[in-house]
Every structure is written in structure tokens, then in C-alpha cells.
């Protein structure tokens, strides 16, 4: 049994789906179901006894303690967070609340539980904290990619709150001995991505005939990883990572945003040509840049590759093609997110514990 937090979000849900597709070890899935949590993503697990969904807050110590006591997971895999940079610029309170205070409360509840475990269980227990490359700040064009020893220089309220959570996790290991692992991953893309993020937004807007808004000159460089490769990296770190260590996760796929948008347009031109025969690139529209927008992130994943033998299964070319095809095949999922109908899945599919 493992306890996953934030398992109704983009990466957490992909993780839970892959986990249960690969083996039978049950998952308790604790998610508050903010706007980013979508139970429709987990519809294929309806009636599956290996998946127990619990609607709740990671900051609810009583609930977390009850779940730990009742289910005795061998690991906690912590995805739950407020994750959207733009939202953090307009209001950072929820980010501080969940990413910092929530992680603190979760760590405390887990620590108290872990201390009471018999020695063998205690030694085998793991707390895996899922974090981002954005904690390292912005790179100049010719600087080497971020390694695990790069200084923390977060620039947005989101990355600052994630950096704080990374430090708390580190301290709970150094001070209290909690067996933690941290992963810092580059930008993810793939199925079930909420259409406020760059890649799904561009696909969905393109198909709707809307403008494709590109911040500034579009030359901000991000390093992209197919979400299922991120999930395989997390499983590998959970299985074989050294306690107290941090692992960078990335696919060596640095691309400027404008190139991503052009690639999506080219794939759509091929897979779902516009009725008027024009290219989707005609919908590209440059908009005012985001304040404090980091110019470049790039992840050096050599530690994970060399020490734990992980490598991604997808190249950017194969992953982005699968992603565009997924959005073409799942118009209902997108429509339910856009209309807000996905929220009804809370009532329809699962009852909170
Ligand atoms: P997401 O926003 O899609 O999902 C977050 C999930 O957490 C949602 O289901 C939400 O309901 C839940 N949640 C939020 N606050 C909660 C709370 N207080 N208690 C319980 N559940 C709560 O995010 P994502 O893109 O899936 O990211 C998951 C994790 O991975 C985050 O920690 C993020 O920082 C990290 N990460 C994301 C990326 C990326 O590209 N998306 C890259 C690297 C790391």
C-alpha cells in the first residue's frame, strides 16, 4: 500500500493509473479536489478495490494520521500542490497554504506515524517529495543545465513555495531522520493535462479556432518530459534512491516556447487540417510577457541515469505526437474541464471516506 497525495491532478493521476496498470499494490489517493483535481481522469479505476480515493487536505493532520494508521502505507508519494505559476502571480496565498504549510503538516503527521512503526517497517518506509526544476531559478543561454547541487534561486511565488517545501523535506530528514527522497523535474506534458498550461492550451485553442497566445518573443526555453517518463522516474527513485538524496528528472529536451507552439501547429495541420486549408500557425498571437518570466530551465539528469539506470521512453517528437493525438481523441474530457462538468464526478463516482 502506498499513499499518494494530489493523485487527481495531472501528474499524480498519471502516476496512479500507471502504478495500478503495472502491479497490484493498492493506492490510497488523498486529494482536496481543487480546480486542478479531476476525478474523471480516474474514471477507469471506478470499482477497482486497489484504489481508495479520499477527498481531503494534506494539511488536515487528523485525516492524514487516520489514513496512515488505518492503511499503514510503506510510502507516501507527495504530489499535492498549487502548481500554476500565473495563478501564483495573481494570488499566492493558496500556494503558501498548501505547498508550505500543507507540506509541513503532512511531514509532521508522517513523522509521528513513522516513529511508532516497528523497526523493519520504519527502515523500509519512504517519503517521496515531488518537486520542480523551477526552484533553481533561471539559466543564461550558455550556462550548463541544473545539477542537484545548483543553488536554489526561485523567482516566482510558485517556485518559492516549492523551494520552501523542498527545504522542509530536507530538514525533516536531517533533523528528524525521516527517510525522504526528493525529485526535481522539468516541465511535464501528456494526457490529462489541465488546459491552462502551455501545451494543452495551444492544442485546445487551435482546435477551437482561437488565438494561440505566446508570451513575449516566445524564446523562453523549457525542458520537456513526457509525463509517463516522470512517473517511471519516480517509481525508480522510490525503489532504489538513496535516502536523503535529491534526483533531477529530465529528458534533455530544451525547446523555446515558440518552437513548441509551431510543432503543435504542424502536427495539427497533419492530423486535423483546418477546414479552410490554412495552417494553425496563423492563429499564433504574441502577448505581453509574464512578469519575472524565467528565460531558461534545463535539467541535468545524469545522476538519475547513472546511479539508478533510469532513462525516458519517449523522445520529444514521439511524446508530443502522442499528446496531440490524445487531445484529439479525448474531446469529451476537455469539454468537461472547460464547462466545469468534471466537478460533478465528485458526486457521481466516489464518496469521501
Ligand atoms: P496539478 O495542479 O495538476 O495537481 C495538483 C493536485 O493536488 C490536484 O489534484 C489538487 O486537487 C491537489 N491539491 C491541491 N492542494 C491540495 C491540498 N491542500 N490537499 C490535497 N490535495 C491538494 O499539478 P501537477 O502538474 O500534477 O503537479 C504535481 C506535482 O508535481 C506538484 O507538486 C508540482 O509542483 C510538481 N511538478 C509539476 C511539474 C509540471 O510540469 N506539471 C513539473 C515538475 C514538478
Q: Report the complex ipTM.
A: 0.99
Would you name the residues annotated as active-site residues?
133-134, 158
Beta bridge partners of 286: 214
pLDDT of 240: 98
Q: What is the mean pLDDT of residues 166-182?
A: 98
Task: List domains and CATH numbers for the chain.
Answer: 2-349 (3.40.50.720)
Nearest CA to ligand 1 atom 12: 6
pLDDT of 250: 97
Residues ≥6 apart with Cβ < 8 Å to 271: 324, 325, 328
- Tens of pLDDT, residues 107-135: 999 999 999 999 999 999 999 999 999 99
Ranges of beta strands (E only) in 121-172 are: 126-132
Task: Spell out which residues line ligand 1, taking CB within 6 angstroms.
Answer: 5-6, 8-12, 30-34, 36-37, 57-59, 79-83, 98, 102, 130-132, 162, 185, 187-188, 194
Residue 275 C-beta-side C-alpha neighbours within 13 Å? 3
The pLDDT confidence band at residue 292, using thresholds 50, 70 and 90, is confident
DSSP code of 299?
A: B
Nearest CA to ligand 1 atom 41: 188
Counting from 1 in the atom list of ligand 1, the atom nearest the Cα of 194 is: 3
- All three cell numbers of 7, joined, read 493523485
Choose among 92, 103, 199: nearest CA to 155: 92
DSSP code of 27?
A: E
- All three cell numbers of 269, joined, read 495541420
Place of cell 501528474: 11
- Tens of pLDDT, residues 242-273: 999 999 999 999 999 999 999 999 999 999 99
pTM for this predicted structure: 0.96
- Tens of pLDDT, residues 139-158: 999 999 999 999 999 999 99
Counting from 1 in the atom list of ligand 1, the atom nearest the Cα of 158 is: 34
The dihedral through the CA atoms of 8, 11, 17, 22 has a sign that is negative
Beta bridge partners of 249: 185
pLDDT of 343: 80
pLDDT of 351: 43
Q: What is the mean pLDDT of residues 167-172?
A: 98
Which H or E run contains 71? helix 61-71
Amino acid at each position: 500500500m502506498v499513499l499518494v497525495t494530489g493523485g487527481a491532478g495531472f501528474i499524480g493521476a498519471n502516476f496512479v493509473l500507471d502504478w495500478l496498470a503495472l502491479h497490484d499494490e493498492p493506492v490510497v489517493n488523498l486529494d482536496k479536489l481543487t480546480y486542478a483535481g479531476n476525478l474523471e481522469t480516474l474514471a477507469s479505476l471506478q470499482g477497482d478495490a486497489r484504489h481508495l480515493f479520499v477527498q481531503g487536505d494534506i494539511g488536515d493532520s487528523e485525516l492524514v494520521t487516520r489514513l496512515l494508521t488505518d492503511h499503514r502505507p510503506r510510502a507516501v508519494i507527495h504530489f499535492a500542490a498549487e502548481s500554476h505559476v500565473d495563478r501564483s502571480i495573481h494570488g499566492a496565498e493558496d500556494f503558501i497554504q498548501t505547498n508550505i504549510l500543507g507540506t509541513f503538516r503532512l511531514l509532521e503527521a508522517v513523522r509521528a506515524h513513522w516513529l511508532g512503526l516497528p523497526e523493519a517497517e520504519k527502515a523500509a518506509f519512504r517519503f517521496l517529495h515531488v518537486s520542480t526544476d523551477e526552484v533553481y531559478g533561471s539559466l543564461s543561454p550558455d550556462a550548463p543545465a541544473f545539477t542537484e547541487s545548483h543553488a536554489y534561486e526561485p523567482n516566482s511565488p510558485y517556485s518559492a513555495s516549492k523551494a520552501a517545501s523542498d527545504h522542509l523535506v530536507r530538514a525533516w530528514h536531517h533533523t528528524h531522520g525521516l527517510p525522504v527522497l526528493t525529485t526535481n523535474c522539468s516541465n511535464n506534458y501528456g494526457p490529462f493535462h489541465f488546459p491552462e498550461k502551455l501545451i494543452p492550451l495551444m492544442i485546445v485553442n487551435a482546435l477551437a479556432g482561437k488565438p494561440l497566445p505566446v508570451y513575449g518573443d516566445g524564446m523562453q526555453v523549457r525542458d520537456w518530459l513526457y509525463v509517463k517518463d516522470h512517473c517511471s522516474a519516480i517509481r525508480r527513485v522510490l525503489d532504489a534512491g538513496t535516502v536523503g538524496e535529491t534526483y533531477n528528472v529530465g529528458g534533455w529536451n530544451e525547446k523555446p516556447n515558440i518552437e513548441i507552439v509551431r510543432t503543435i501547429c504542424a502536427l495539427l495541420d497533419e492530423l486535423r487540417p483546418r477546414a479552410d486549408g490554412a495552417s494553425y500557425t496563423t492563429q499564433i498571437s504574441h502577448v505581453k510577457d509574464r512578469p519575472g518570466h524565467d528565460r531558461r530551465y534545463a535539467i541535468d539528469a545524469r545522476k538519475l541515469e547513472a546511479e539508478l539506470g533510469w532513462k525516458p521512453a519517449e523522445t520529444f517528437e514521439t511524446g508530443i505526437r502522442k499528446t496531440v493525438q490524445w487531445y484529439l481523441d479525448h474531446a469529451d474530457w476537455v469539454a468537461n474541464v472547460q464547462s466545469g462538468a468534471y466537478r460533478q464526478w465528485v458526486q457521481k463516482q466516489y464518496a469521501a471516506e
